[in-house]
Structure 1
C-alpha cells in the first residue's frame, strides 16, 4: 500500500495539518500508521466527513464509525466524474434485474435470476405461474415509479406508499393500495401485526417519527416498524424495500439490494427487533449493503 504524509493529505483535502493530526489521533482516518510523532496515511484514504453533517442527529456511539465511513464514501463518490446517460441506464438495468429477482424471491417467487431478466424483457417462462410473471412486471413498474419520485424529489407520504403498493400488487386488483381490513399473522413470526383499525393511525404516526437519526438507522427502524404494522394484506416486504431505496436515492445514495441468499439474516433482524427491541442487526445489515454499493461504484469510477 502507498502512503502520504500529513502535509500531502493537507494539500489534497484542503484542510490544515493540525486538523489532520487531530483526526489521526482520534482514529477518524482509516488505515493510518503512526511512526513516532508522524502519521502515514494511505493514499486512497477517504477525506473524513465534516462532523457538521451529523450535527442535530442522535448517533449512538456504536454506529459513529460506520456512519462516518459511509458518509465519507458518499462524499468521495459525488466528487468523481459524472456517469454518462448510457452508463446510468446500464447500471439501472442491471440493478433492476437483481433487485426484482431478490425482492420477489424473498417473498416466495420461483423465477430464477435469468428467468426474471427474460420476463423483464417481455418473454414468458414455460411452466412458471402467471402470478410469478405478474410480480416481476409489478415490481418493475413500482421501481420506475420510485425513480420518477426521486427525479421530482417527492417525499415519502402515505399517498406515495399506497401508489407503490398498487403497482406491486398488480395480480390482486381489489387489494391494491388499500390498507387491510382484517387481522393477519406473519408465518414463522411471534409478532402480531397491528389490528386493522389501528393501521391508519400507526402509519400516520410512523411518518412523523425518527427524524433526528442518521439516514441508515432511520431507514432500518422505519423498515422494521413498517413491517410490524403490516399495513397491506400482501406485498408489504416488497413495498418496504422499495421505500428504503426511494429515501436513499433522494438523499444522494445508491439503492441497495437485500439478497435472497441473506434472507435468514434478514429475518433474524426482524425477530431481534420485535422480541428484544434491538435494531442493531438491521442497522448493521443495511450499512453493510450500503458500503458494498458505494465501494462498487468507487472502484469503477476510480
Structure 2
C-alpha cells in the first residue's frame, strides 16, 4: 500500500517539497516514481534530518564570534588604516547606491579623495562626502563613548543630508505618509516626546544589544522624525552598538 507525497508530508510534519527531495535522494526506502509523482510505502519511516542544525542560539554565536575577534586585537596601525579605508569606501558606495546615487565604487573612492567626476551630478558628490563626514563623526563619538541623544541624532542628520540644506538636522514640521503602508508616522508635535521616550526606554533596557537595536530601529522608523532620513538610519545605531561593545567586551 502506498501514500502520496502530500500524505507523507502531513504524516511526518514536513513540507511536500522536502518529501520530494528525500525521494529523489533515495532516502525513503521503497519510494518509486510514476510519471511526475512519487509513491511512498505507507509503512516507510521518516528519514533522519541530516541537515546542519545550530547547536547554539544566534545571540550566543554572535557573542562567541565577537570574543574571537577581540582575541585577535589589537591591530597594527597599518592594518587598521587599511581596513578602515576599504570599509568606508564600500560602506559609502553601497549605502548611497541603494538610494539611487549613480557613482560607481571606483568613482566613490575618487570623490572621497577630493576628486570630481565628470558628468556626474553634484548631488551625488555631496552625498558621498556627507556620508564620509557622518561616518567620521560617529567614529569620534565611539572613541569618546558618547551616548546617543536627540542632539547627536540631529547632528548626524545634518552631516548626511548635505544636499538638502533646508531640511538638515531638524525634525519635520509637517505630517507625512508612507506610500503603500498602513502605518502612519506620528504627528510633528509628538516627535520630540516620542524620541525622548524612545531613548529613555533604550537606556533602561537590559536586553541583549542585538534585539535592543532591532527594537530601537523599528520604533525609530515608526516615528519617522525627519522629512528625508533614509541615508542616516544606519548611523543612529552605531554609537549604541559600538559603545556597548567597548564597555561590555562583547
- Tell me the TM-score normalized by structure 1: 0.60
Q: Which residue of 1 aligns with 2:6?
A: none
CA distance in 1, matches of 2:80, 2:181: 39
In the alignment, is the contact (CA less than 8 A) between 1:110 and 1:132 conserved in 2?
Answer: yes
- 1:103-118 equivalent positions in 2, closer than 5 A: 103-118=95-110
Quote the offset at 1:100 in angstroms: 1.0
Q: Which residue of 2 aligns with 1:194?
A: 186
Quote the offset at 1:226 in angstroms: 1.1
Q: Deviations over 1:47-97 (max 9, x none)?
A: xxxxxxxxxxxxxxxxx7010111111112212241011211111111111
Question: In 2 relative to 1, CA 31–226 (structure 1 residues): closer, same or farther, beyond 3 Å?
Answer: closer
- Structure 2 runs not aligned, ≥5 long: 1-52
- 1:1-302 equivalent positions in 2, closer than 5 A: 65-210=57-202, 211-234=205-228, 236-252=229-245
Question: In 2 relative to 1, CA 166–95 (structure 1 residues): closer, same or farther, beyond 3 Å?
Answer: same
In the alignment, is the contact (CA less than 8 A) between 1:135 and 1:170 conserved in 2?
Answer: yes
In the alignment, is the contact (CA less than 8 A) between 2:158 and 2:168 conserved in 1?
Answer: yes
In the alignment, is the contact (CA less than 8 A) between 1:227 and 1:237 conserved in 2?
Answer: no
- Structure 1 runs not aligned, ≥5 long: 1-29, 33-63, 254-293, 295-302
Structure with the greater relative contact order (CA < 8 A, sep ≥ 6): 1 or 2? 1
Structure showing greater radius of gyration is: 2
Count of aligned positions:
193
CA distance in 2, matches of 1:141, 1:31: 40
Quote the offset at 1:153 in angstroms: 0.4
CA distance in 2, matches of 1:191, 1:114: 39
Q: Which residue of 2 aligns with 1:36?
A: none
- Tell me the TM-score normalized by structure 2: 0.72
1:247 is paired with a residue whose SS is helix
In the alignment, is the contact (CA less than 8 A) between 1:143 and 1:242 conserved in 2?
Answer: yes
Question: In 2 relative to 1, CA 31–232 (structure 1 residues): closer, same or farther, beyond 3 Å?
Answer: closer
